[in-house]
Amino acid sequence: MDVLIHAVVGLHIIGIASLLGGFLTQMKAMGRGEARMVPAMLHGALTMLVTGVALVGLHQAQGDTVNTVKIGVKLALLVVILGLVYVKRDEEKVEPAAFGAVGALTTANIFIAVLWV
Ligand code: HEM
């Protein structure tokens, strides 16, 4: 079971790479107000949701205590991220505030994950 959990954490990290990596490729364009929600961001956000829920299930199946408040905060932030990326996925130019919010919330979730014990 531990190997499976670690493998899913690996997929969770690939999801971060896709979501945050997609955002980073658009930062210069964001400065000009021409950023796009690239497909990698939508796929990354969906990967975070699927692997995150799977990790909660696997930990509970193993009898581990899950920090439900921390997971709830991470899930709430991801719902906002996913909503923004999904709704604006076809826009040629996304306003910097909405685009920047995706990067900021993703970064916040990374630090919540690693600093909140
Ligand atoms: C943008 C959204 C997210 C980011 C950036 C993110 C980031 C991370 C990172 C960096 C880790 C590894 C560090 C650690 O073990 O604490 C992690 C682990 C974890 N994440 Fe996420 N996460 C996100 C969304 C979610 C969601 C929505 C859920 C659940 C619904 C979730 C559930 C978990 C769980 C249960 C672990 C623990 C894995 C383990 O230690 O076995 N994550 N997350």
pLDDT, tens only, 40-78 = 999 999 999 999 999 999 999 999 999 999 999 999 999
Q: How many helices (H) and strands (E) does the chain have?
A: 5, 0
| Å from CA of 102 to ligand 1 middle | 16
Condensed to tens digits (0 to 9), the pLDDT of residues 40-49 reads 999 999 999 9
Is the per-residue pLDDT at 87 higher than 90? yes
Q: What's the one-letter identity of residue 107?
A: T
pLDDT at position 61 is: 97
Mean pLDDT, residues 103-107 taken together: 98
**Pocket around ligand 1 at a 6 A CB cut-off:** 5, 9, 12, 16, 48-49, 52-53, 55-56, 59, 71, 74-75, 78, 81, 106, 109-110, 113-114
- Among 25, 44, 38, residue whose Cα is nearest residue 82: 44
Q: How far is the CA of 60 from the centre of ligand 1 (A)?
A: 14
Residue 84 — pLDDT band, cuts 50, 70, 90? Answer: very high
Q: Are 44 and 22 in contact (CB under 8 A)?
A: yes
pTM: 0.96
Mean pLDDT of 27-37: 98
pLDDT of residue 117: 87
Q: Mean pLDDT for the chain? A: 98
* Residue 34 to residue 13: CA distance in whole angstroms: 27
Radius of gyration of the chain (CA): 15
